[in-house]
Amino acid sequence: MRYLPIDNQLFVSNRQRLIALLKPKSMVVVNANDIMPTNADGTMVFRQNNDLFYLTGVDQEETRLVLFPDHPDPKFREVLFLRETSELIEIWEGHKLTKAEAEQVTGITQKQVYWTSQYEQIFGQMVFEAEHVYLNTNEHSRADVAVQTRDARYIDSFRQQYPLHHLERLAPLMHHLRAIKQPQEIALLQTAIDTTDAMFRRLLGFIKPGVWEYEIEAEMMHEFLRNRSRGAAYTPIIASGANACVLHYIDNSAQCQDGDVILLDIGAEYANYNADMTRSVPVNGRFTARQRAVYEEVLRVMNEAKQLLRPGNLWDEYHREVGSVMESELINLRLLDRTDVANQNPDTPLYKKYFMHGTSHFLGLDVHDVGNKYRRMEPGMVFTVEPGIYIRDEKLGIRLENNVLITETGNVDLMANIPIEADAIEELMNN
């Protein structure tokens, strides 16, 4: 992997915290993701199942973790299965983990590491001592792609082979755990954010009238890759002019025009952890009076929203409060009428015409990370804060986004060092 080694105590601790949530006589099975095909003999770049990575640190295909803390035989209480390498695999694909290396990565003793080909034999010695078996499913509210995963196939095969075992949902437990970031996770997130900072400063010296959005994307990727990142944490949005009013614009194919504002929703990945930043900058290095007015209102909403991210708050309450702040700013910009707002249907607030998406989401191993919006906010949670105002008639879209850690003593803006004030943006673009 490109990233530096991670202290395996993070993964040891993660497994221990999961075990504490299990019912008695339970086992957990977590599978690696599939290698996904493209066309002919092509494949997509492998991306590990985030729950498996969270529990092991293994970034390799055909991996499986089995936890069974109550098994009578200590050697079966945590077991890792790896793809066995060969000289042929080494020649064609490169190095795969040895059992000794797996112990260094995971903290699981190599005596409890087996090859994936041994799975049925070893698992058969474990499963009949269990009463409950926790299996994984993708229970994300935004998941809408109907592809049968390795997890789904495994659930089907398990039910056929062991029909009398009680299956349990692993996802709620993983969502509960992963929502609270451990100190090492915060450090990995901060590395991704620092790389994003370096990238953004590079772009501020590059953007000018006439450049193409894809040229900006190329500059972004150069900075990411040279800092041990696999690349962008998500498909980047580089949207100039009217493109900025398309929330998921990813063509990045237009030429940047003098007088436009360009919206940059781009963040680096590092060790599977993700930064998520948005900035809006003037293509020619200077905001017009109108552009600056809208920019300053978005920044005010962002700063207010950051203060509302605090322990004890609830997701829906937070978003209602941010919506109220946005209403005031849109009235100031004369985009909304105060009387109309007073008489609006609260179920369809008028501000949604100009700010139609949510303000925050969980951030971590997934860009839209797992977590429960009905759980009160707690120290250790990391959220994005990303208000925006989109005025299609003016071909102007401005969004600003930082990543914020909730702590016991107040919030920490993990992107505090990344330029965001309009004056700072202009100064850096004109040096």
Among 136, 153, 178, where does a domain finish? Answer: 178
In a domain, 64, yes or no: yes
Residue 140: what pLDDT?
82
Residue 142: what pLDDT?
77
CATH code for position 68 = 3.40.350.10
In a domain, 355, yes or no: yes
232 touches 221 (CB < 8 A): yes
Which residue numbers are catalytic? 41, 248, 265, 276, 357, 361, 368, 386, 390, 399, 401
Alpha-carbon distances, residue 317 vs 321, 350, 355, 356 (angstroms) = 6, 18, 17, 17
pLDDT at 151 over 80: yes
For residue 272, give the nearest of 22, 11, 96 by alpha carbon: 11
Q: Tell me the C-alpha distance between 235 and 55, whole Å.
A: 26
CATH code for position 313 = 3.90.230.10
Q: Indicate whether 157 and 288 sit together in one domain.
A: no
Q: Which amino acid does the sequence have at 333?
A: L
Alpha-carbon distances, residue 60 vs 50, 52, 94, 273 (angstroms) = 12, 10, 12, 16
Instruction: Render pLDDT for 270-283 as a digit per residue (tens, 0 to 9).
Output: 999 999 999 999 99
Q: Indicate whether 154 and 33 sit together in one domain.
A: yes
Q: Indicate whether 224 and 110 sit together in one domain.
A: no
Q: Indicate whether 223 and 165 sit together in one domain.
A: no
Q: Indicate whether 43 and 164 sit together in one domain.
A: yes
DSSP string, 167-198: EEESHHHHHHHHTS--HHHHHHHHHHHHHHHH
Q: Indicate whether 114 and 220 sit together in one domain.
A: no
Q: Indicate whether 36 and 161 sit together in one domain.
A: yes
Q: Indicate whether 224 and 156 sit together in one domain.
A: no
Residue 1: what pLDDT?
87
- Length of the chain equals 431
In a domain, 2, yes or no: no
Instruction: Render pLDDT for 11-44 as a digit per residue (tens, 0 to 9).
Output: 999 999 999 999 999 999 999 999 988 899 899 8
DSSP string, 271-319: TTEE--EEEEEETTS---HHHHHHHHHHHHHHHHHHHH--TT--HHHHH
Among 148, 178, 208, where does a domain finish? Answer: 178
In a domain, 3, yes or no: no
Average pLDDT of span 386-396: 98
Q: Tell me the C-alpha distance between 262 and 212, whole Å.
A: 11
In a domain, 4, yes or no: no
Q: Indicate whether 34 and 126 sit together in one domain.
A: yes
Please state, rounded to an integer, the average pLDDT across all residues of the chain. Answer: 96
In a domain, 1, yes or no: no
Q: Tell me the C-alpha distance between 334 and 329, whole Å.
A: 9
pLDDT at 145 over 70: no
Domain count, the chain: 2
Residue 18: what pLDDT?
98
In a domain, 139, yes or no: yes
**What are the beta bridge partners of residue 278?**
265, 401
In a domain, 258, yes or no: yes
Instruction: Render pLDDT for 157-179 as a digit per residue (tens, 0 to 9).
Output: 999 999 999 999 999 999 999 99
Burial 91-101, CB ≥16 within 10 A → b, else e: eeeeebbebee
Can you give the residue range of the structural domain that contains 368?
183-429
Average pLDDT of span 83-94: 92
Tell me the pLDDT band of 315, cut-offs 50, 70 and 90. very high
Among 127-131, 142-146, 365-369, 394-398, which stretch is predicted with the lowest mean pLDDT? Answer: 142-146
Q: Indicate whether 153 and 201 sit together in one domain.
A: no
Among 178, 195, 214, where does a domain finish? Answer: 178
Q: Indicate whether 171 and 300 sit together in one domain.
A: no
Q: Indicate whether 45 and 61 sit together in one domain.
A: yes
Instruction: Render pLDDT for 94-118 as a digit per residue (tens, 0 to 9).
Output: 999 999 999 999 999 999 999 999 9
